[in-house]
Amino acid sequence: MDKSYQQEDKERKLGISPEKIQREEELSKREEEAVREKEVSIEREKEIIQPTPSPAPPPKKVLPSKEEIKEEIREEKSEDLKKIEKILEEDLGEVYQGMPDYLKKEFKRKGEETASKIEKIIHSVKIKIKEILHLIKEWLKIIPGVNKFFIEKEAEIKTRKILNLHKKEKEDLLS
């Protein structure tokens, strides 16, 4: 308990309990350990697969690298999803940079999840505007120390932009 009174007071004002911070840090550590274990197992598999050196050309890569996997994931995103993500991230660069690392990961993960859900809603027969608005609000609530009027206004703006994007694409299809 080396935390100062000011730090505890700040955490209380932000609505972040020390237990929540500790849980987030533990979760982050566990995720990092899981990634390290996966990398070690991949390295072991590579060692097992690679035969002793011979004059023959080296074998082709059997397992894709981490970068290749990330690239594949990026390529799989549809154009609509990319546009929705771009709309969601508008005007939030400074806010994102000011977040602690554990919140950045959660914010990014939840943002991608939100964009994916919004894409499904937009491609459905009936678009539920309230549901899109709710998803965006829930995502923005992750930002610490932001008042609810900011969240409400940003959610409305982003919802309007997403609906305009959908409307424009629909008109392009019909013309």
Q: Check residues 96 and 75 and name the one with the higher pLDDT.
A: 96
pTM summary value? 0.56
Alpha-carbon distances of 142 from 13, 33, 89, 113, 153, rounded to whole Å: 14, 25, 14, 13, 15
In the chain, where the domains are located: 1-53+60-76, 78-175
CA distance 134 to 152: 10
Mean pLDDT over residues 22-27, rounded?
77
Mean pLDDT over residues 12-27, rounded?
70
Check residue 124 and give its pLDDT. Answer: 86
* pLDDT > 70 in the chain, percent: 71
Alpha-carbon distances of 99 from 92, 96, 107, 132, 152, rounded to whole Å: 11, 5, 9, 24, 20
Give SS3 for 119. Answer: helix
CA distance 11 to 144: 10
Residue 23 CB neighbours (<10 A): 12
Position 141 confidence tier, pLDDT thresholds 50, 70, 90:
very high
Alpha helices by DSSP H, 58-147: 66-76, 79-89, 93-97, 101-122, 129-140
Position 7 confidence tier, pLDDT thresholds 50, 70, 90:
low
Identity of the highest mean pLDDT range in 8-17, 82-91, 164-173: 82-91
Computed over its alpha carbons, how large is the radius of gyration of the chain? 22
